[in-house]
Amino acid sequence: MNWLDIVILVIIAIATFLGLRIGIIKAALSLAGLIVGVILAGRYYIPFSQQLSFIPQASIAKIVAFVIILIGVMIIAKGEFRP
């Protein structure tokens, strides 16, 4: 069993546990939000980091931009933006 098999098994185990605990739809949306968030953050963190001119170091701005995009997409996917 190589590392990819272990990663897939861990993802399936976590998804199963969350599905039983919080409901399959909410768990699926959470997992989809994570996947889409990583994809979008990977694509748009550089242009977004250029807008964060108040952060003096470019590397820190890139990390902050990635995290902001990832968390934003995950919040939207989970539907926790409701009042």
pLDDT tens track for 4-58: 788 888 888 888 887 777 777 777 777 888 888 889 999 999 999 999 989 899 8
Cα separation of 42 and 69, whole Å?
Answer: 9
Looking at residue 64, its pLDDT comes to: 92
Cα separation of 42 and 63, whole Å?
Answer: 11
C-alpha pair distances (Å), 35 with each of 11, 41, 59, 72: 12, 10, 23, 13
Q: Between 55 and 3, whose confidence is greater?
A: 55
Looking at residue 83, its pLDDT comes to: 57
Domain boundaries, given as residue ranges, for the chain? 3-78
Could you give the residue ranges of the DSSP H alpha helices within 1-83? 3-22, 24-51, 58-78
| Residue 72 reports pLDDT greater than 60 | yes
Looking at residue 25, its pLDDT comes to: 75
